[in-house]
A and B are shown apart, each in its own frame.
Chain A
């Protein structure tokens, strides 16, 4: 568990809504959101699965690096980090696929360049999930601790909580937390094989939902221990987080909502915040039956009839898997900067088993506490609070 003295110094993101968190937030708020669609990237072999694909003029491997670079550049710029500060930072990456895209791209290129010939078996040449962090550290000269969390959909949300814990313990000075997930045949086909994929649309918390749709994205969030002596005052704080792994089910957090409710309760306790103080909830909201039931019931268990506005971003950008924690945090922060909380896309009808609708209008952003929730494969749960400060608000960025 973490407490409340961690500043969020900067962030950046690339989503299907834009090549920066700011552009993504503007498009989200103004409703310039395209639903998931059939993919066109040369390495994706199944054209019948809809996903949130980032447009790019180049090959998918180059795109993957461009996504990472763009998110980091925006985050470093927003945080106004010096080269020395970047160098002494710790790098925590959350990803499931890592650079597996290299295998898929190289294989499809070999097949494409050798028409009529028998395909060779696909080779696995990437160096595991840690390769992304290693490449980022080498490119940007990051010399602090480097660590990758490869934990399915909570990879980067877990990384954010661990980073805050290490900062609190003064084990590290600053954390650059990166989430990265390109579209892969591996994950698209994998979730389809589990019958967790919605062929039509991603519809979080909607009675008509029938599964998730994957999105590709990258993001970076920079955390730093607050210093009372510092002249720089941060508007946003990582005010408390909690991570927990259950061992009951590989694929479900339990549809009774008990586990999700407990995790949210622990988070509020860690942050010393009452449910009534939560301004809004950035929910995981994948659009799968089990996730939305367990999370929705968990939320109503904690908040009862006083449920704050609930927003899932996945109807607008898809499920970005291991990147979701960093991506959705960065996008949410940019929405706060724009002064507006976005509506939840993809919803049409209340699920009677849940009894609530996610937010269907944009809401003016207020100062206060925002709850973030993430639930993933393997019984993994992360939850944290981001606080916008009441008296230190500035709009310099």
Chain B
């Protein structure tokens, strides 16, 4: 029985943006886990032109990341388009939930702030994004641990295929919330089930669909294989190579583009020279964003913007052994 959920048709990627710990859109820079979390208020001011006083970090990063993506497209290309929002998050607005629940237990329920609760509700960020981007209709918050972004991407494609929306703004956002140790526990990170990297955060977005304007590439496939496999199998370079070669063969035959593997944080064994010998470049994006549940969105958006004429395959798996592959090409 084949339990794979595959995306059937390719989707044009009109725009992308990525926002990692430096809190500057589409910029890589050195960062330090011990300095996180940084205040996003300057970024909010820059992107939105006014402060978001009542919103928490998660909501601010969702809005800034998504708006950075939308604003990179000429307004005319989006005019009168039916756009759906698909916000993926593994952990959601923990930054709002924790202080609220702390306050509840501190005072036995007497004095928590209503705004804090309102912002802690799971879909508050999607609402604020819908409001600032003036989008109504299909606005979904999808959460499935480290498969959240891939699941949202798959769902967005099904909506585009149905014709219910013309464009899909699909993004992943998770925020760094101290302590790093608690964060690792929330993500079920054990010594043997992830690459050794600092914890991070990101708000990274793709705008998908057909427009008369330019595109930066195409998402060719999203494969979610829910058959649990053993970790050693999923992390073996030989098996990863086999999987990416297979998907490349199915999608584009012998590509005349540079072949790039984007390894997710669960892949423990990344041997650059092994892949190089087989004609694949490894683009390890994690040093720029750290581990977070929706890091796939960061890796993919960054590669869409910075790797021209490339065939990209993002590989990762869930701690329970479910494998995900996302394949894309850039112009």
Q: Interface of A with B (CB < 8 Å)?
A: 1, 45-46, 49, 84, 87-88, 96, 100, 103-104, 107, 119, 121-131, 133-134, 137-138, 142-152, 155, 158, 162, 165-166, 169, 171-172, 185-186, 188-195, 243-247, 250-251, 322, 376-380
Contacts and interface: CB of A to CB of B under 8 A. Distances in A.
B126 interface: yes
A165 B156 CA distance: 12
A128 B85 CA distance: 20
Given A122-B101, A130-B90, A247-B131, A150 B117 contact: no
A342 B140 CA distance: 32
B271 interface: no
A129 B127 contact: no
A127 B144 contact: no
Nearest to A192: B109
Contacts of B117: 189-191, 193-194
Interface of B: 1, 3, 5, 85, 89-92, 94, 97-98, 100-102, 104-105, 108-109, 112-114, 117-118, 120-124, 126-127, 130-131, 134-145, 147-148, 151, 154-155, 158, 161-162, 164, 177, 182, 185-188, 224, 226-228, 293, 318, 320, 322
20 contacts: A124-B186, A125-B186, A128-B91, A134-B145, A144-B3, A146-B151, A146-B322, A148-B142, A150-B123, A151-B140, A169-B162, A186-B101, A186-B104, A186-B120, A189-B117, A246-B136, A247-B135, A377-B118, A378-B121, A378-B127
Contacts of B151: 145-147
B122 A245 contact: no
A133 to B, nearest CB: 7
A147 B155 contact: yes
Nearest to A125: B185
B123 A129 contact: no
B226 A119 contact: no
B112 A190 contact: yes
Nearest to A244: B137
With most chain B CB atoms within 10 A of its CB, the pick from A131, A188, A244, A245 is: A245
A152 B122 contact: yes
A145 B105 CA distance: 37
A106 to B, nearest CB: 12
Contact of A193 (B112, B139, B147, B293): B112
Which of A1, A145, A152, A169 has the most C-beta atoms of chain B within 10 angstroms of its own C-beta? Answer: A145
Given A194-B117, A245-B130, A247-B136, A122 B105 contact: yes
Given A169-B161, A247-B127, A145 B139 contact: no
Given A1-B164, A129-B92, A145-B226, A152 B121 contact: yes
A193 B135 contact: no
Q: Which of B92, B104, B155 has the most CB of A within 10 A?
A: B104
B92 A150 contact: yes
A147 B150 CA distance: 10
Given A127-B145, A146-B144, A148-B143, A245 B92 contact: no
A148 B94 contact: no
B224 A145 contact: yes
Given A123-B182, A150-B143, A378 B112 contact: no
Given A134-B145, A147-B142, A158-B140, A186 B123 contact: no
- Per DSSP, are chain B's interface residues mostly helix, strand or loop, or mixed? mixed
Nearest to A142: B226
A190 B120 CA distance: 9
A134 B112 CA distance: 31
Nearest to B90: A128
B105 A119 contact: yes
A103 B101 contact: yes
The 6 tightest CB contacts between A and B, nearest first, are A245-B139, A190-B117, A378-B127, A46-B109, A150-B122, A130-B144
B142 A128 contact: no
A152 B123 contact: yes
A143 to B, nearest CB: 4
A208 to B, nearest CB: 24
A125 B105 contact: no
Given A151-B140, A250-B124, A165 B109 contact: no
B101 A104 contact: yes
Nearest to B144: A130
Contact of B101 (A146, A162, A185): A185
A103 to B, nearest CB: 7
Contacts of A142: 226
Given A107-B105, A186-B104, A194-B114, A88 B141 contact: no
A250 B119 CA distance: 10
A315 B98 CA distance: 31
A251 B148 CA distance: 26
Given A127-B187, A145-B5, A186-B120, A150 B131 contact: no
A45 B126 contact: no
A337 B264 CA distance: 49
- Most chain B Cβ neighbours within 10 Å, of A143, A147, A380: A147
B139 A130 contact: no
B5 A245 contact: no
A195 B322 CA distance: 43
B127 A124 contact: no
Nearest to B94: A124
A147 B144 contact: yes
Contacts of B3: 87-88, 143-144
B143 A247 contact: no
A104 B320 CA distance: 25
Contact of B154 (A96, A119, A145): A145
Contact of B226 (A146, A155, A162): A146
A138 B320 contact: yes
Contacts of A147: 142, 144, 151, 155
Contacts of A322: 122
A1 to B, nearest CB: 7
Contacts of B89: 128
A146 B161 CA distance: 20
Contacts of B147: 130, 146
A380 B125 CA distance: 13
